[in-house]
Amino acid sequence: MTAETVEIPGYIAGTWDIDPVHSQIGFVARHLMVSKVRGKFDKFEGQIVTAGDPLQSSATATMDTASFDTGNDQRNNDVKSENFLDVTNFPTITYRSTSVRRDGEQFIAEGELTIKGVTRPVELAAEVNGIGPDPYGGTRLGLSAIGEINRSDYGISFNMALPTGGVMISEKIQLEIEVEAVLRKD
């Protein structure tokens, strides 16, 4: 087996801090089996460590569950309740990558996602959007990632059956992540 060469324009090895002002960590769930509802976390932090070999890179993130927002106060309160995120007892959701591999033009970050104290493996299909200087003398990294989880795997099983069949909220939840990170100056 030969070593795979991974080329990313402008690639720099280092530690990057996620810029929450220019990033978004969100979820998409199907509602009543006819539409999609989006939610996001307003407070989160994380780091990306780009290694000399991009396939040895890693990432971590922590989301504040009380900052979950769907744009509707009633729905936000429902999602934050014991039926779903239970923010009183579980104030954070965490992610930690365990490996990175190449899949065509994308990277697959395998990792561990912990929700409500339950840790399960999750794969995120990631794309490097760019690396370059910012107007403040720093360097920025842009990434997009998507994935999917089953909320029941994390003990989030509340649901209601619909009279016409189906359920109120999908078991499968899509993860949508847009990250802009700033290279630490050592």
CATH code of the domain containing 170: 2.40.128.110
Domain tally, the chain: 1
Is 48 within the bounds of a domain?
Answer: yes
Cα distance between residue 12 and residue 38, in whole Å: 33
* pTM confidence score: 0.89
Phi, psi of 113 (to 5 degrees): -110, 130
Is 89 within the bounds of a domain?
Answer: yes
Is 5 within the bounds of a domain?
Answer: no
Is 7 within the bounds of a domain?
Answer: no
Domain containing residue 45: 14-183
Is 6 within the bounds of a domain?
Answer: no
Is 59 within the bounds of a domain?
Answer: yes
Which span out of 33-42, 78-87, 102-111, 157-166 was modeled with the highest average pLDDT?
A: 102-111
Cα distance between residue 155 and residue 116, in whole Å: 7
- The label of the residue with tokens 């299909």 reads 125
Asked if residues 90 and 65 have their Cβ atoms less than 8 Å apart, the reply is: yes
Taking only the tens place, the pLDDT of each residue in 122-145 is 999 999 999 999 999 999 999 999
Is 166 within the bounds of a domain?
Answer: yes
